[in-house]
């Protein structure tokens, strides 16, 4: 269908003249801003999409310094030379809220660090909790949907939230952490950071260990109770951003001690839990924390949009001798993070700063790209192929263990509730859960969620039931530990190469 406009009348002619003037001004302004250095962000800030998750954030610059030599377990240069430094950029964020949401909302926090090492950028894309809600990457988009708005009411929905979680009980460990006071930290710089995922530290000879990385705040993990967090959400929704900026401006530089836990492949094969399970922690008494360095934030940004909002963190940005494990959720993040950054920031568009020069945008077998090789790589020096093959055979069946819920999934959250939390912690946990679960409309979802908590601890479930005026519930029926899928059957079988 075409629309015919009669431009012969003075009124229509004037409209077109005014439209033309506005269009010329817009184009001139666009052209000038795009050539005006830092001021170009005034235009571009309104042009890139908001992050789907981790939309609200704060950031700063600083450095990582190696304080201990890990040369007995890795050949990674960053961890083998005491005193070696790398410049760092850190972005903290809430996960589920929009860009205008409150910094003190009950939510996990992202803890992303970009280390500019001599071997390239190393990104640690961590959280402030050591575990997560899931261990199957196929569930990730479904889980995120439950944290967003209802398609009809356009409101956050407690029924969606608890309906998903109570049907995926591997989330119990993370939920107990989230609904404790650790779910509402006192600012971004007063919390710990954890890799959650398992990585590998590799040596020149191909030997390697599994590792998890922890950043422990030197000032301690400081939290708010629910009432204080809610009050701040109304009075100062940007509390986290403000307190981080003002702390650095006052030269009270936040710092974290960086530790690693390590586990050999043989230890992994006899570990009570799956080494690839993102819902489990490694007990410190069995796998002690070993210090490796210090992270310090000592510089506020000059332009938040240019230096923090446009930063594209991804766990696929790594350096020689630090490798991802076969953790399926980590593997999914290796490609999904760069994909979403290309969508948000553009490829060869707004973020194009230093590309490949005149080189064609395709590979050539006559003039191929060259890649850095290092001794610990699969194409490097001789490796212990028999040992590696045996473990890879074992790990190849490990994902089956992640596909079902058993009594193993309630052991760690039960220990957290019964042995780690004190009476005040437990009271706050019950109150926080009841305050949210009480908004659920469906009695079926309420009953199932109470069964979910009864699987952790019957008294916890009963206290929540009393607080929301619901009947007590029995634990969910799940397999006992003795019937958990065993992927250890092939451990001692000979491997033919």
Does 304 appear as a known binding residue?
no
Which of 27, 30, 31, 54 is catalytic? The answer is 54
Angle between helices 458-468 and 443-456 (to 10 degrees): 150
CA distance 62 to 49: 27
CA distance 156 to 106: 13
54 given a catalytic annotation: yes
Which 8-state DSSP code applies to residue 149? B
Q: Strand, helix or coil at 174? A: helix
123 φ, ψ (degrees, to nearest 5) = -105, 125
DSSP calls for 248-298: HHTT---EEEEEEEEE-HHHHHH-SS-TT-TT----TTTS--EEEEEEEEE
Which of 6, 30, 31, 127 is catalytic? The answer is 127
* Longest pairwise C-alpha distance within the chain: 91
CA distance 441 to 407: 29
What tokens were used for 82? Answer: 């005491």
CA distance 25 to 336: 39
CA distance 366 to 354: 24
Annotated binding residues for heme, written as ranges, equal: 337
Active site residues: 54, 127
Annotated binding residues, written as ranges, equal: 337
């Amino acid at each position: 269908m075409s629309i015919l406009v009669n431009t012969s009348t003075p009124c229509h002619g004037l409209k077109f003249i005014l439209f033309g003037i506005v269009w010329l001004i817009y184009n001139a302004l666009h052209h000038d801003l795009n050539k005006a250095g830092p001021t170009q962000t005034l235009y571009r800030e309104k042009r890139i999409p908001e992050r789907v998750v981790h939309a609200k954030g704060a950031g700063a610059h600083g450095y990582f310094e190696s304080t201990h030599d890990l040369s007995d377990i890795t050949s990674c240069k960053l961890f083998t030379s005491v005193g070696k430094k790398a410049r760092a950029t850190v972005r903290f964020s809430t996960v589920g809220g929009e860009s205008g949401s409150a910094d003190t909302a009950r939510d996990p926090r992202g803890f992303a660090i970009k280390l500019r090492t001599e071997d390239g950028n190393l990104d640690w894309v961590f959280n402030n909790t050591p575990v997560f809600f899931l261990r199957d990457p196929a569930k990730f988009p479904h889980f995120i949907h439950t944290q967003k708005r209802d398609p009809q009411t356009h409101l956050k929905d407690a029924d969606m939230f608890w309906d998903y979680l109570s049907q995926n009980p591997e989330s119990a460990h993370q939920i107990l952490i989230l609904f404790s006071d650790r779910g509402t930290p006192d600012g971004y710089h007063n919390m710990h950071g954890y890799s959650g995922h398992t990585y590998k530290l590799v040596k020149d000879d191909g030997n390697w260990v599994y590792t998890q990385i922890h950043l422990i705040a030197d000032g301690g993990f400081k939290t708010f109770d629910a009432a204080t967090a809610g009050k701040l959400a109304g009075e100062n929704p940007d509390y986290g951003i403000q307190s981080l900026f003002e702390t650095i401006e006052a030269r009270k530089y936040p710092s974290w001690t960086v530790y690693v836990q390590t586990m050999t492949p043989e230890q992994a094969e006899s570990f009570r839990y799956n080494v690839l399970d993102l819902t489990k922690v490694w007990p410190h008494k069995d796998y002690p924390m070993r210090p490796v360095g210090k992270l310090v934030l000592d510089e506020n940004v000059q332009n938040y949009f240019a230096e923090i909002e446009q930063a594209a963190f991804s766990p696929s940005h790594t350096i020689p001798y630090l490798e991802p494990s076969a953790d399926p959720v980590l593997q999914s993040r290796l490609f999904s993070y760069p994909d979403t950054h290309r969508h948000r920031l553009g490829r060869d568009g707004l973020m194009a700063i230093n590309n490949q020069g005149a080189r064609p945008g395709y590979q050539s077998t006559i003039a191929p790209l060259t890649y850095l090789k290092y001794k610990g790589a699969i194409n490097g020096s001789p490796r212990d192929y028999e040992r590696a093959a045996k473990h890879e055979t074992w790990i190849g069946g490990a994902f089956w263990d992640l596909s079902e819920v058993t009594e193993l999934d309630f052991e760690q959250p039960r220990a957290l509730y019964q042995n780690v939390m004190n009476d005040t912690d437990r009271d706050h946990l019950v109150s926080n859960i009841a305050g949210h679960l009480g908004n659920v409309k469906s009695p079926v979802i309420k009953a199932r969620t109470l069964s979910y908590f009864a699987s952790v601890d019957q008294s916890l479930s009963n206290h929540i039931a009393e607080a929301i005026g619901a009947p007590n519930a029995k634990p969910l029926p799940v397999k006992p530990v003795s019937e958990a899928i065993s992927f250890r059957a092939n451990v001692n079988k000979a491997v033919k190469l």
